[in-house]
């Protein structure tokens, strides 16, 4: 179906549509339907609207489009707001914060749509359609059989006034349809350039108001964008095909439309489509797996463009303020946005580093790690004081990209006594070593290392063998960080406690 439709869309080279953006402060919106969780694509749309508003001193609005009540998922509005807040995308107007153009939930605006549908009925741009579901199904079935594009045949457009009156009197249910004209509407897409399309080629007159009194997406979307004084609509490219239809509705009201820009599809690094079933497409999933908000935000912008690209520049983590300062709508690419998961890890590592340098944020990071340690090792015996955890974090930051890695086997030695029953131990030697280490005054990496070298010589053990044994004693692992490095990290007390616990 899509391929049929797309054939009639005419693209013309991108002109500098941005230059035509008016100089007033923009009002933009993110208008999700509460049908489930916030996915990466939704966050991208919200984020780009937010950055655009922030970069131009404008207003970012959240509007809930819940006119399809059958698809509504309980709790999803709250989850959506929580995910946006987590990501640092702040709404200036919306159901959670109010504002002078509310209500911001479409199901609370039904009288407004009623009022506006009357205007279109009165000026002859819309009409009541009494066709039954059964008739529409037959039309659809026949068209498919004949390999035609299934579309409504606009029959009720031609009902007489008397017919209409009679049917209303008889209580026949009806919807309201828009009279499509065969104008080829065109607009300058802020991202794709010129778009022109004649909606009536592939569609019958679209429904604006359903028989249950709810508006359709197209109608409510146009009415609300106008009443909420939206200046720019940035949304996913899947809506591009609808924009010319929206323009016809704007015309019917005699309203000036906002400017439109459509964001390309987000795809995997190999160009394949992201599937909603893929778990990590959910913002919540990223959060649960230890991705920090600013890392996710940077990851999205790395795929989506909108910034000057400095060739050869590695990943530079930008704060929300940096992103807003550097954002340029005409730098958004119209090619599909390819995600590169390696960059997500890199962004997260950089974000951990950034947070560690900030006194307030580092306290939160330490608390998070402390609770992860306690959850993972409820019987832990070791030091999880703020100072120690921070030391470990500073050491670990070049080796990990998520805090969660620090409570996996590889780094478990930092928090628990290793279980290493199967290592061969020379207990006498270990006792000697305990005495030796106890006397060591400076417990830094170099002095520990020098001391161990000397100890191996004095006791006639090969240095690599001593190291192998000590590594197993300290971490229960065959490989990992250097022994002196580990001892330094654990601190004298902990290092000795471990050696003592196996030398008994």
Other C-beta atoms closer than 10 Å to the C-beta of 436 total 15
Q: Let me know how long the chain is.
A: 504
What values do phi and psi take at 149, rounded to 5?
-70, 125
Provide the token pair at 205: 């007159």
239 binds ligand GLU (CB under 6 A): yes
How many Cα atoms occupy the beta-carbon half-sphere of 79 within 13 Å? 19
109 binds ligand GLU (CB under 6 A): no
Quick one: which of 59, 221, 240, 337 contacts ligand GLU (CB under 6 A)? 221
How many whole angstroms separate alpha carbon 405 and alpha carbon 484? Answer: 22
**Residue 139 or 265 with smaller CB distance to ligand GLU:** 265
Catalytic residue among 7, 165, 276, 381: 276
Crossing angle between the packed helical segments 483-503 and 445-458, to the nearest 10 degrees: 60
Quick one: which of 17, 21, 28, 31 contacts ligand GLU (CB under 6 A)? 31
Asked if residue 119 lies in contact with residue 165, where contact means CB atoms within 8 angstroms, the answer is no
66 binds ligand GLU (CB under 6 A): no
235 binds ligand GLU (CB under 6 A): yes
Footprint on residues 377-436 left by ligand GLU (CB under 6 A): none
Asked if residue 268 lies in contact with residue 338, where contact means CB atoms within 8 angstroms, the answer is yes
**Residue 2 or 158 with smaller CB distance to ligand GLU:** 2
Closest Cα partner for 298 from 275, 328, 269, 318? 318
Q: Residue for token digits 């439309």?
A: 257
**Residue 11 or 217 with smaller CB distance to ligand GLU:** 217
Distances in Å between the Cα of 384 and the Cα atoms of 25, 73, 232, 389 are: 50, 41, 51, 6
Asked if residue 226 lies in contact with residue 250, where contact means CB atoms within 8 angstroms, the answer is yes
128 binds ligand GLU (CB under 6 A): no
Count of residues that bind ligand GLU according to CB under 6 A: 8
Burial of 144 (C-beta count, 10 Å sphere; 0-12/13-18/19+): exposed
Burial of 409 (C-beta count, 10 Å sphere; 0-12/13-18/19+): exposed
Footprint on residues 158-217 left by ligand GLU (CB under 6 A): 217
39 binds ligand GLU (CB under 6 A): no
CA 446 to chain centre: 45
The contact mask relative to ligand GLU for 328-367 (x = CB under 6 A, - = no) is ----------------------------------------
Closest Cα partner for 48 from 292, 297, 266? 297
> Using CB under 6 A, which of the segments 27-35, 450-458, 464-472, 496-504 binds ligand GLU?
27-35
240 binds ligand GLU (CB under 6 A): no
How many whole angstroms separate alpha carbon 173 and alpha carbon 170? Answer: 9
**Residue 274 or 384 with smaller CB distance to ligand GLU:** 274
CB of 226 to ligand GLU, least distance (A): 13
> Using CB under 6 A, which of the segments 5-13, 26-34, 185-193, 256-264 binds ligand GLU?
26-34
The verdict on whether 353 is a catalytic residue reads no
**Residue 127 or 239 with smaller CB distance to ligand GLU:** 239
Quick one: which of 26, 33, 224, 475 contacts ligand GLU (CB under 6 A)? 33
Crossing angle between the packed helical segments 483-503 and 463-475, to the nearest 10 degrees: 70
**Residue 33 or 348 with smaller CB distance to ligand GLU:** 33
Chain residues binding ligand GLU by CB under 6 A are 31-33, 65, 217, 221, 235, 239
Catalytic residues: 276
């Amino acid at each position: 179906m899509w391929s049929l439709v797309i054939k009639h869309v005419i693209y013309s080279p991108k002109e500098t549509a941005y230059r035509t953006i008016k100089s007033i402060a923009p009002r933009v919106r993110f208008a999700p339907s509460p049908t489930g969780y916030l996915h990466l694509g939704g966050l991208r749309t919200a984020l780009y609207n937010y950055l655009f508003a922030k970069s131009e001193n404008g207003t970012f609005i959240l509007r809930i489009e819940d006119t399809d009540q059958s698809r509504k998922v309980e709790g999803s509005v709250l989850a959506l707001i929580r995910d946006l807040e987590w990501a640092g995308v702040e709404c200036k107007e919306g159901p959670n914060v109010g504002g002078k153009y509310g209500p911001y939930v479409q199901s609370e605006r039904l009288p407004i749509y009623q009022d506006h549908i009357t205007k279109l009925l009165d000026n002859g741009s819309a009409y009541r359609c009494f066709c039954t579901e059964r008739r529409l199904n037959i039309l659809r079935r026949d068209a498919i059989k004949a390999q035609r594009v299934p579309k409504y045949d606009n029959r009720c457009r031609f009902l007489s006034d008397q017919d209409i009156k009679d049917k209303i009197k008889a209580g026949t249910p009806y919807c309201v349809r828009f009279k499509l004209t065969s104008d080829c509407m065109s607009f300058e897409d802020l991202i794709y350039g010129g778009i022109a399309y004649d909606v009536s080629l592939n569609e019958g007159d679209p429904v604006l108001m359903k028989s249950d009194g709810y508006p359709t997406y197209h109608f409510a979307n146009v009415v609300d964008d106008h009443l909420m004084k939206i200046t720019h609509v940035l949304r996913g490219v899947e809506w591009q095909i609808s924009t010319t239809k929206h323009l016809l509705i704007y015309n019917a009201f005699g309203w000036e439309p906002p400017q439109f820009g459509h964001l390309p599809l987000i795809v995997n690094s190999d160009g394949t489509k992201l599937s909603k079933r893929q778990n990590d497409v959910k913002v919540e999933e990223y959060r649960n797996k230890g991705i920090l908000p600013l890392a996710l935000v940077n990851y999205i912008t790395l795929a989506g463009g909108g910034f000057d690209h400095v060739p050869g520049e590695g990943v530079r983590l930008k704060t929300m303020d940096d992103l807003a300062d550097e954002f340029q709508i005409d730098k958004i690419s119209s090619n599909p946005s390819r995600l590169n998961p390696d960059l997500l890890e890199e962004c997260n590592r950089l974000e951990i580093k950034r947070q560690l340098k900030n006194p307030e944020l580092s306290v939160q990071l330490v608390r998070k790690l402390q609770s992860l340690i306690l959850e993972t090792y409820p019987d832990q015996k070791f030091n999880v004081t703020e100072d120690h955890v921070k030391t470990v974090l500073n050491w670990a930051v070049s080796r990990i990209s998520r805090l969660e890695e620090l409570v996996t086997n590889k780094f478990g030695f930092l928090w628990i006594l290793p279980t290493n029953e199967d290592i061969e131990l020379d207990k006498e030697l270990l006792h000697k070593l305990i005495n030796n280490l106890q006397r060591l005054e400076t417990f830094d990496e170099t002095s520990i290392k020098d001391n161990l070298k000397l100890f191996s010589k004095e006791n006639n053990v090969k240095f690599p063998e001593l190291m192998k044994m000590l590594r197993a004693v300290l971490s229960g692992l065959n490989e990992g960080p250097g022994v002196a490095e580990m001892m330094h990290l654990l601190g004298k007390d902990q290092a000795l406690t471990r050696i003592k616990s196996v030398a008994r």
